[in-house]
Structure 1
Amino acid sequence: MAAALLILTDFFQAANRALNYASNLAGAIGGRMVLLHVRRDSVLDPEMFTGQLSCRSQEAADIALHSVAGNLAVPVVAEVGYGQVAYAVADAVSRHHPALIVLGRPDYSSLPDELVHTTSLDILRTAPYPMLVVPHTLASTQPPRRLLLAVDGEAFSLGEHAGAARHLLAALGAALTVLHVATTPSETEVDPAAWSVLQTGLAVDLPTQVHTRTVVDESPVEGILQAARPEDFDLVVLIARPRSFLGQLFHHSVTAQVLLHSPIPVLVLPATE
C-alpha cells in the first residue's frame, strides 16, 4: 500500500499552505493522503485566545473538508476528529499508520515564545511520531530537493520509523547535507556526526553522496537556523530525542525553537533513546 501522509487542516492560511505542500510531496513519493479536521469547541482550548481556531459550524466544516479533498490530485480520505488535537491525531495514526503527520505553522510573530502554545509540540509530547511542519511564509510548495539534517554527533536510532524515513528520503531523491553544530572550534570534527547518520541506514538508497557541514556557535538553535536558509536548503531535518520533548523545559528545547523559527519546513524524526 502507498505511504500515507496525515494532514491536519483548520482551513486557515497556514493549513492551506501545508496542504499544498503535502499534496506535492505525496505526488512525488507516490503516496496518498488522510485529511483530518479536528473540531475544537472548548472555551478552555489555549488557541481560542490566539484566534487560531476555526469558528465554522460542523456542517460548514464538513462541506469545506470534502470540497478540499475533492480538488486534490492524489488519493485522499477526509475525516473529522473531536476533542484535543493531539489525541485525535493519535487515534488517526493508530488507524492509518501514516509515514508522516503534516501541519502548518501559523504566524506567531506577535507573541513571545513563552506564550506560544503549538499543536506540533503537543503532538510530540503526547504521541511522538515523524512530523513535518510547514511555515505559513513558505514561498514554494514544491517537493524539497536540498535537505539539511542536523545531528549532535551521538548515536541514535529511529526504531519503528526508520523504514518510513529511509523510504521518504530515497523517494525524494534529494541531496542530503549532514550538519553538526560545534560549540567551540576544537569540536569541529564532522565524522562522528556523519557516522551517526550512516549507522541508521538513512543514506543507503540516496542517489547522491552525503555531504557534511560544520558551523561553530554556542547555541545549537542559532547554528541550525544560520545554516537552514531558504537559498541553500528546502527542508531541515531534526532528530528529536525523548529528553528533548518529554522534559518540563520542552518549549526551550532545540526542537521546539527550530520548529518555531525555521524559515523552511522542518521534518522531526523522533529517536528511540
Structure 2
Amino acid sequence: MENVKMSVLVATDLSSGSENALRAASLHARRSDSKLVVLHCLEAAAEGVALKDFVSHSEEILASAKRDALVELERTYQDAVAEELRPSEVDFGVELKFAGVGVLEALSAESFELVVLGPTGAGTLSGMLFGSTAEEVVRESTVPVLVVPPDAHTEAIGSIVAPVDLSECSRASLRHAVELAQLHDARLDIVHHYVAPYGGLLKLDSEPAPESLERLEAERREALEAFVAEVDLSGVDHRLKLWRSSVTNSSPAESIVEVARDDEADLIVMGTHGRRGFKRLFLGSTAFKVLRHAPCQVMVVRAQK
C-alpha cells in the first residue's frame, strides 16, 4: 500500500456550523499522521472592508484583535474535537483577510495536500455554495477540497463512493479515492452513470427494447471494467456499479447523491476540471449539484493540466 501523507488545512469561521469540518479534518490528519493547520480569517479587519473606511485601526488594535481571535480559535477547536481524536501536531493561524483569499494564499505558501471547509455561520451547506468562500476555493484550489456538511458522519470513513465518467479527470479522482480507501480501510463503490437512448423527439419517456438495454449495459460495463483496470485496486474492497437513467428523469449529480444515500456513504470523491468563467459549466452542473445535495462529505479533486 502507498503511504498517503497529508498536510491538512481547515478553515473555520468559529461558528457551530463549522465544528464538523474541524472533526473531519482532524480525522484525515490523524489517520495520515500529518500536521493539521487550523485557520481563521478575521474578515472585519481585512483590507477593503467598510469598517476600515470609518474606523482608524492602529497596528496595536489589529494585533490585539488577532491575539484575541487566536485564543478563540484554539478554544473552538478544543471544544469541537476530543483530545484523543486530534492529530499529534496542530497549528493555529489567524489572518486579517477575506476567507477565500486567506485560504488560497495559505495553500500557495505551504505544501498542503488537502483543504477542508464547512458551512459558514448558521447557513446550510446548500446556501453557502453560491458566491461563497467554498465556491471560490473549490474553483481555484490546485489541491483536493473536502466540503463537510454540518450533519455529516465524521467519526470514521467506512464507505466511499467514486463516480467516474471514464475521463482522465475521473481516473485521477479514482486514484485518490483508492488511496483514501486504503488509508481508512473503507469499502469503495465505483459508479458510472449513463443515459439510455430514447425512441425519438416525440417519445422522450419511452425506453428502447429490453434487448437493446441489455446490450447497452454490457457495453458500459465492459468500458467501466477497462477503465478501472488501469488503476491499482490491490487490497481494496470495491464494487463496480452502473446507474442508468433516461434523458428526462435523472442527471449524473442526482445519481451520485442517490447512490451515496443508498450506500450510507461517508465520503464522495469526484473530479472536476476546475474551469473558470463560462467554461465553469461542468463544475456548476455536476460537482456543485453534488456538493449542495450530498448527505455526506464530498472531496473534489481538480484535474491537473
CA deviations 1:116-160 (Å, max 9, x no partner) are 33322201222332011110122x32121111001112233777x
Tell me the residue number matched to 1:176: 188
Is the Cα contact below 8 Å between 1:108 and 1:116 reproduced in 2?
A: no
Correspondence for 2:114 among 88, 96, 100: 100
| Normalised TM-score (structure 1) | 0.79
Distance change (3 Å), C-alpha of 1:208 and 1:67? same
What secondary structure sits across from 1:253 in the alignment? Answer: helix
Distance change (3 Å), C-alpha of 1:110 and 1:28? closer
Structure 2 CA distance, aligned partners of 1:111 and 1:272?
27
Query: What amino acid is aligned across from residue 21 of structure 1 in structure 2?
Result: A
Find out whether 1:253 has 2:285 as its counterpart: yes
Query: What amino acid is aligned across from residue 229 of structure 1 in structure 2?
Result: R
Find out whether 1:63 has 2:71 as its counterpart: yes
Is the Cα contact below 8 Å between 2:118 and 2:150 reproduced in 1?
A: yes
Query: What amino acid is aligned across from residue 224 of structure 2 in structure 1?
Result: A
| Normalised TM-score (structure 2) | 0.71
CA deviations 1:2-55 (Å, max 9, x no partner) are 52110111111221111012212322232220111112226988xxxxxxxxxx
Larger Rg: 2
Tell me the residue number matched to 1:48: none
Equivalent residue pairs, number: 257
Q: CA deviation at 1:171?
A: 1.4
Find out whether 1:213 has 2:241 as its counterpart: yes
Correspondence for 2:223 among 160, 175, 192: 192
Over the aligned positions, Cα root-mean-square deviation in angstroms equals 3.4
**Deviates most, 10-19 or 251-260:** 251-260
Tell me the residue number matched to 1:149: 162
Structure 1 CA distance, aligned partners of 2:243 and 2:20?
31
Find out whether 1:232 has 2:300 as its counterpart: no
**Deviates most, 254-263 or 98-107:** 98-107
Give runs of aligned pairs for residues 96-175 of structure 1, distance below 5 A.
96-106=110-120, 108=123, 116-138=130-152, 140-156=153-169, 167-175=179-187
Distance change (3 Å), C-alpha of 1:155 and 1:192? farther
Is the Cα contact below 8 Å between 1:228 and 1:262 reproduced in 2?
A: yes
Structure 1 CA distance, aligned partners of 2:289 and 2:154?
22
Gaps of 5+ in 2: 50-64, 198-212
Distance change (3 Å), C-alpha of 1:111 and 1:214? closer
Q: More helix by proportion, 1 or 2?
A: 2
Q: CA deviation at 1:191?
A: 3.8
Identical amino acids, percent of aligned pairs: 24
